[in-house]
C-alpha cells in the first residue's frame, strides 16, 4: 500500500495504491492505514462519511446525521437552469461582481453572484446545467464551484445535472440543454425508431462518459412516458407508443448511464444517476395540451389504461438488468392525473398526490430512490391561465410552505427549480408543530440520505475535480461523434419510395443532379416560455455545403429533382385572443397543415376546473385552428406542380405524428426524421447509407381519427394507407428493397 500525490491545475490528486483516488483543492488530507482521505471537516479526524472504504449507504447515513435542518433543506433544492457563462437577455440571467458577463471581464468559467449566493447561503448542492460554451469551460467551471463548496461546512460537493443535451437537431418545443462540442444523436423517437435496445445501451454508455467529462453526474432522463397521445409536444422525447419497447429502452438507458464497469455494485466514477420521468406517465394529456401550462394540466384516461403507463417504470427503470438494479431517481409530472386517486378522490398535481406518491410509488412499489418534483411546482400561480410558471395544480389555496410540506409528507425529497430554502424551513417548522421535532428530523434525514447517496455512489465525495485537457479529449471525440452519426442514419424512416404501384424506386438518387430546395416560412407564434416569436424564413440547409451531393438551383424549372424539407404541423392549443373574443380559449392542436375545424371533438372535456376560469368545460368542439407552418405544404404542392413528372422527395422532421393525407400523393419518396443533421439525410438520399428504421408511432389517417382516439391508449388510431397500399402503422418502414420485416419488427409486433 501507498499513495502518490500529483499537483494539478488548482487541486491535488492522490492515487491510493489498492484504494480510491481522492482530490482536494485545499490540499487537506488525513492519513490512515497507509491511505489518504479528504479532510472535509478540517479537523484532522477521519469520519465515516470521509472514509471511501465504507459503503455509500454507511457514509450517507453518517453525514445526514451531522447536517443541520438548513443544510438538509439545501440538499432538497434543485437550482434553476445555469448557463456557462450566463449572458444578458437569457431566461436565466446571472451577474459577475454586479455586472453582466460582457462587461465583467472575467473568464467564461467564473462563478456568478447568484451561484455563490445559493451555494453558500441556501446550501444548494444540486445544480442544473444547461448551455455551456465548451467542454474545457465546463470542466473549469466545475472545478471553480467545487473548490468553493469544499470550503463550506462538511465540504459537500455539487452534483451537477442536465436535461438531454446530445440532440442532433435544435428543433422541438421544449427547452433543451446544449453543449457545442458534444456527440450528436437523434431525439427519443429517433432512438426508438431503431427498435434496438442494445443501440440505446451503447448510446447511454457514450453520453454518460461525456456527461462525467463535463462534470455532470445526474441525468434528468430518460423520458419513459409511453407516447400514446400524438398531439403532445413532448412525445418526440419519448421512446414511442409501445409499452414494451419503451420498457426495454428504459432498462437499457438506465443501465448504460449508471453502470461503471468493473465495480461490483456498478456505481463509480463513470456513473451518471438516471432520473426517470414522468411518474406515473405524463403522455395522456387531454387533447395533447401540455402540463407545463395551466391550460394543459389534466392527464386523462378514457381508455382505462392507467396501469399501462406505469409499466416502463415498474418493469423497466425499477428492474434493471445491470448491477445498479434501479434508477436512482424519479420525477413525477406536473399533470393532474384526472380521477386516478381512488383513495382521497383529489385531483391535484402528481407530486401533491398522497395516493400516487406515498401509497403507490413509496408504498405499494417500495421505491427507495430520490423523488424530485418537476420544475417550479411550488410557487404561487400567475393571475392568468396563459402563463408558463403556474404549476401548483389543485393546491393553489395552500401557502408555498404548506405545498412543500404536503409534498414532503408524500415522500418527495427534492424540489426542482427552487434555490430558496425559506419555504422548506417554514414547512419543517409547520411539520414540527404537527408531528413533533423528532419525527420531522427523522423525515428530513431520510431525504438527506437518499440525496447524498447519489453523490457518494458517483465518487464525488472523493474526487469532484476534472482535468480540462482530459475533458476536451473525451467530449465530442471522433469515436463518439461517429457513433452518434451512425445512430442518426439508423433513425430515419423511409415510408415511401415509389410514385405509384409497380414503378421504379425513387431513391437512391445519383450524385451531381441539379436539386431545388425551397425555403421555409413559419408564422409568428408563442414560444415554449409563452413569449412572442416573430415570423421566420428558413433555408433548410443553411450553413451546409451540399456540393458533394448535388448542385443546388434556385427554381424548380432548372432542377432535375426537388427536396422539400417540412416540419410536422405546428399549432397552439390555447389562444388568449379566443378568450378575449368570448370563447373559452381552447383550440384544437393539429396534426394537419390546412385549417382544421374540430367537428369530431369531445363536446365536454374530461378534465376541467381552475380558479382563473368560470367554467369547467374545456372543449373546443366546432372551433377552427391553423398551423403556423402551413406554407410547408404549399412548398410541396407548388414544387410538385412545376416539377411535373420529375421527382419530389419530402423530408419530414416529425415532432408529432403527422396526417399524411395532404402531401403523400404529391411525394415520390418520403423520409421521416426525428432530429438528425442534414448530411445524414443526403447520405440516405444518395445511397451512401440505406434506411433501416421503422415508425415508433402511428401516422393517423385523419384528424377526425385522432379526435376519436383515447389519449391513454396505444395503437387505437387507424393508420394512413398510401397510394402504394402501405399502412403507416407502428413498426412500418422501408429499405431500398422494400418493406422491412425482420426480427426487430417481430419482437415488438402489435
Q: Could you give the CA distance from residue 703 to residue 658 in angstroms, rounded to a whole number?
A: 9
Check whether 173 has a pLDDT greater than 60.
no
pLDDT band at 91 (very low <50, low <70, confident <90, very high): confident
Are the C-beta atoms of 182 and 166 separated by less than 8 Å? yes
Q: What pLDDT, on a 0 to 100 scale, did the predictor assign at position 90? A: 78
Phi, psi of 252 (to 5 degrees): -60, -45
Distances (CA, A) of 91 to 81, 86, 203, 347: 9, 10, 30, 31
Hey, do 67-474 and 488-568+629-747 end up sharing a CATH topology, with the first three levels equal?
A: no
- 26-74, pLDDT tens digit by residue? 999 999 999 999 999 999 999 999 999 999 999 999 999 999 999 999 9
Burial of 716 (0-12, 13-18, 19+ CB in 10 A): middle
pLDDT band at 169 (very low <50, low <70, confident <90, very high): confident
Phi, psi of 113 (to 5 degrees): -60, -40
pLDDT band at 170 (very low <50, low <70, confident <90, very high): low
Q: Which three cell numbers stand for residue 443?
A: 423525515
Are the C-beta atoms of 36 and 413 separated by less than 8 Å? no
Query: In sequence order, what are the residues at sequence separation of 6 or more whose Cβ sits closer than 8 angstroms to the Cβ of residue 68?
Result: none
- 602-625, pLDDT tens digit by residue? 999 999 999 999 999 999 999 999
Q: What pLDDT, on a 0 to 100 scale, did the predictor assign at position 80? A: 85
Burial of 290 (0-12, 13-18, 19+ CB in 10 A): buried
Distances (CA, A) of 703 to 208, 505, 591, 711, 728: 40, 30, 7, 14, 15
For the chain, give the mean pLDDT: 96
In the DSSP assignment, the letter for residue 535 is: P
Q: Which three cell numbers stand for residue 50?
A: 470521509
Check whether 121 has a pLDDT greater than 80.
yes
Domain residue spans in the chain?
A: 2-48, 67-474, 488-568+629-747, 571-628
Q: What pLDDT, on a 0 to 100 scale, did the predictor assign at position 744? A: 95
pLDDT band at 178 (very low <50, low <70, confident <90, very high): low
Q: Which three cell numbers stand for residue 401?
A: 410552505
- Percent of the chain's residues with pLDDT above 90: 95
Helices then strands, counting H and E runs in the chain, come out as: 19, 29
Report whether CATH 3.30.360.10 matches the domain 67-474: no
The CATH homologous superfamily for domain 488-568+629-747 is Glycoside hydrolase family 3 C-terminal domain (3.40.50.1700)
Check whether 134 has a pLDDT greater than 80.
yes
Q: Which three cell numbers stand for residue 687?
A: 445511397
Nearest to 232 by CA among 651, 580, 568: 568
What b/e sequence results for 396-407 when a residue is b if at least 16 CB atoms lie within 10 Å of its CB, and e otherwise? eebebbbbbbbb
Q: Is the pTM of this model over 0.75?
A: yes
- 343-391, pLDDT tens digit by residue? 999 999 999 999 999 999 999 999 999 999 999 999 999 999 999 988 9
Check whether 172 has a pLDDT greater than 50.
no
Nearest to 327 by CA among 363, 371, 377: 371
pLDDT band at 174 (very low <50, low <70, confident <90, very high): very low
pLDDT band at 176 (very low <50, low <70, confident <90, very high): very low
Nearest to 125 by CA among 77, 179, 172: 77
For 82-91, 98-107, 401-410, 715-724, which range has the lowest pLDDT when averaged over its residues? 82-91
Are the C-beta atoms of 699 and 493 separated by less than 8 Å? no
Q: What pLDDT, on a 0 to 100 scale, did the predictor assign at position 539? A: 98
Distances (CA, A) of 494 to 167, 500, 649, 671, 696: 21, 15, 11, 4, 12
**Can you tell me the mean pLDDT for 618-633?**
98
DSSP secondary structure string for all residues of 80-93: EEEEESPPTTSTT-
Give the count of beta carbons closer than 10 Å to the beta carbon of residue 62.
17
Q: Which three cell numbers stand for residue 159?
A: 452534483
- 655-679, pLDDT tens digit by residue? 999 999 999 999 999 999 999 999 9
pLDDT band at 474 (very low <50, low <70, confident <90, very high): very high
- 210-258, pLDDT tens digit by residue? 999 999 999 999 999 999 999 999 999 999 999 999 999 999 999 999 9
Helix, strand, coil in percent for the chain, rounding step 5: 30, 15, 50
Burial of 106 (0-12, 13-18, 19+ CB in 10 A): middle
How far apart are the two ends of the chain, measured CA to CA in Å? 59
Check whether 696 has a pLDDT greater than 70.
yes
pLDDT band at 175 (very low <50, low <70, confident <90, very high): very low
Q: Could you give the CA distance from residue 497 to residue 305 in angstroms, rounded to a whole number?
A: 36
pLDDT band at 181 (very low <50, low <70, confident <90, very high): confident
In the DSSP assignment, the letter for residue 315 is: I
Q: What pLDDT, on a 0 to 100 scale, did the predictor assign at position 180? A: 54
Are the C-beta atoms of 119 and 158 separated by less than 8 Å? yes
Amino acid at each position: 500500500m501507498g499513495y502518490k500525490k500529483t499537483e494539478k491545475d488548482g487541486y491535488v490528486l492522490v492515487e491510493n495504491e489498492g484504494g480510491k483516488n481522492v482530490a482536494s483543492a485545499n490540499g487537506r488530507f488525513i492519513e490512515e492505514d497507509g491511505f489518504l482521505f479528504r479532510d472535509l471537516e478540517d479537523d484532522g479526524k477521519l469520519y465515516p462519511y470521509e472514509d471511501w472504504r465504507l459503503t455509500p449507504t454507511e457514509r450517507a447515513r453518517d453525514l445526514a446525521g451531522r447536517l443541520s435542518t438548513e443544510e438538509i433543506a439545501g440538499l432538497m433544492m434543485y437550482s434553476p437552469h445555469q448557463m456557462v457563462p450566463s449572458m444578458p437577455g437569457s431566461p436565466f440571467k446571472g451577474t459577475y461582481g454586479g455586472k453582466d458577463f460582457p462587461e465583467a471581464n472575467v473568464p467564461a468559467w467564473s462563478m456568478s453572484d447568484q451561484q455563490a449566493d445559493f451555494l453558500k447561503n441556501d446550501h444548494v448542492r444540486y445544480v442544473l446545467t444547461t448551455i455551456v460554451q465548451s467542454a474545457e469551460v465546463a470542466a473549469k467551471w466545475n472545478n471553480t464551484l467545487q473548490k468553493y463548496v469544499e470550503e463550506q461546512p462538511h465540504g459537500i460537493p455539487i452534483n451537477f445535472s442536465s436535461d438531454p443535451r446530445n440532440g442532433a437537431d435544435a428543433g422541438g418545443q421544449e427547452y433543451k440543454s446544449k453543449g457545442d462540442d458534444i456527440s450528436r444523436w437523434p431525439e427519443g423517437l429517433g432512438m426508438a425508431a431503431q427498435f434496438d435496445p442494445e443501440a440505446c445501451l451503447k448510446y447511454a454508455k457514450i453520453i454518460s462518459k461525456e456527461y462525467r467529462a463535463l462534470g455532470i453526474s445526474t441525468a434528468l432522463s430518460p423520458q419513459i412516458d409511453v407516447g400514446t397521445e400524438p398531439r403532445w409536444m413532448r412525445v418526440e422525447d419519448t421512446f414511442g407508443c409501445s409499452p414494451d419497447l419503451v420498457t426495454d429502452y428504459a432498462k437499457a438507458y438506465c443501465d448504460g448511464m449508471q453502470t461503471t464497469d468493473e465495480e461490483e455494485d456498478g456505481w463509480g466514477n463513470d456513473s451518471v444517476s438516471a432520473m426517470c420521468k414522468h411518474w406515473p406517465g405524463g403522455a395522456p394529456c387531454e387533447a395533447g395540451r401540455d402540463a407545463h401550462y395551466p391550460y394543459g394540466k389534466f392527464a386523462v384516461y378514457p381508455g382505462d389504461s392507467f396501469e399501462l403507463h406505469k409499466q416502463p417504470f415498474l418493469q423497466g427503470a425499477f428492474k434493471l438488468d445491470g448491477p445498479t438494479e434501479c434508477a436512482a431517481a424519479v420525477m413525477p409530472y406536473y399533470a393532474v392525473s384526472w380521477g386516478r386517486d381512488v383513495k382521497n378522490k383529489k385531483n391535484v398535481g402528481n407530486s401533491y398526490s398522497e395516493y400516487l406518491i406515498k401509497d403507490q410509488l413509496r408504498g405499494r412499489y417500495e421505491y427507495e430512490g430520490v423523488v424530485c418534483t418537476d420544475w417550479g411546482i411550488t410557487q404561487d400561480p400567475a393571475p392568468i391561465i396563459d402563463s408558463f410558471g403556474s404549476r401548483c395544480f389543485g393546491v393553489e389555496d395552500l401557502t408555498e410552505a404548506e405545498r412543500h410540506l404536503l409534498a414532503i409528507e408524500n415522500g418527495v425529497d427534492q424540489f426542482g427549480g427552487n434555490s430558496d430554502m425559506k419555504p422548506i424551513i417554514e414547512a419543517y417548522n409547520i411539520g414540527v408543530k404537527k408531528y413533533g421535532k423528532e419525527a420531522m428530523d427523522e423525515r428530513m434525514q431520510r431525504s438527506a440520505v437518499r440525496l447524498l447517496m447519489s453523490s457518494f455512489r458517483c465518487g464525488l465525495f472523493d474526487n469532484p475535480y476534472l482535468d480540462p485537457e482530459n475533458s476536451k479529449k473525451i467530449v465530442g471525440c471522433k469515436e463518439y461523434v461517429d457513433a452518434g452519426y451512425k445512430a442518426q442514419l439508423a433513425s430515419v424512416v423511409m415510408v415511401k419510395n415509389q410514385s405509384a404501384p409497380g414503378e421504379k424506386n425513387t431513391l437512391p438518387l445519383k450524385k451531381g443532379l441539379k436539386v431545388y430546395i425551397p425555403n421555409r416560412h413559419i408564422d409568428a407564434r408563442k414560444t415554449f416560455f409563452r413569449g412572442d416569436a416573430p415570423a421566420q424564413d428558413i433555408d433548410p440547409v443553411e450553413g451546409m455545403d451540399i456540393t458533394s451531393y448535388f448542385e443546388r438551383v434556385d427554381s424548380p424549372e432548372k432542377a432535375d429533382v426537388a427536396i422539400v424539407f417540412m416540419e410536422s404541423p405546428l399549432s397552439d392549443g390555447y389562444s388568449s385572443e379566443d378568450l378575449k373574443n368570448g370563447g373559452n380559449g381552447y383550440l384544437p392542436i393539429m396534426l394537419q397543415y390546412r385549417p382544421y375545424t374540430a367537428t369530431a371533438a369531445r363536446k365536454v372535456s374530461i378534465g376541467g376546473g381552475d380558479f382563473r376560469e368560470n367554467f369547467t368545460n374545456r372543449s373546443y368542439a366546432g372551433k377552427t385552428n391553423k398551423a403556423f407552418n402551413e406554407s410547408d405544404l404549399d412548398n410541396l404542392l407548388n414544387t410538385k406542380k412545376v416539377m411535373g413528372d420529375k421527382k419530389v422527395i419530402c423530408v419530414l422532421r416529425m415532432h408529432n405524428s403527422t396526417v399524411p393525407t395532404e402531401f403523400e400523393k404529391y411525394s415520390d419518396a418520403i423520409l421521416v426524421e426525428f432530429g438528425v443533421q442534414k448530411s445524414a439525410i443526403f447520405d440516405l438520399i444518395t445511397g451512401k447509407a440505406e434506411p433501416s428504421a421503422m415508425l415508433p408511432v402511428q401516422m393517423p389517417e385523419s384528424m377526425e381519427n385522432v379526435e376519436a382516439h383515447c389519449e391513454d391508449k396505444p395503437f387505437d388510431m387507424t393508420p394512413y394507407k398510401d397510394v402504394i397500399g402501405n399502412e403507416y402503422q407502428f413498426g412500418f418502414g422501408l429499405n431500398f428493397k422494400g418493406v422491412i420485416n425482420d426480427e426487430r419488427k417481430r419482437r415488438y409486433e402489435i
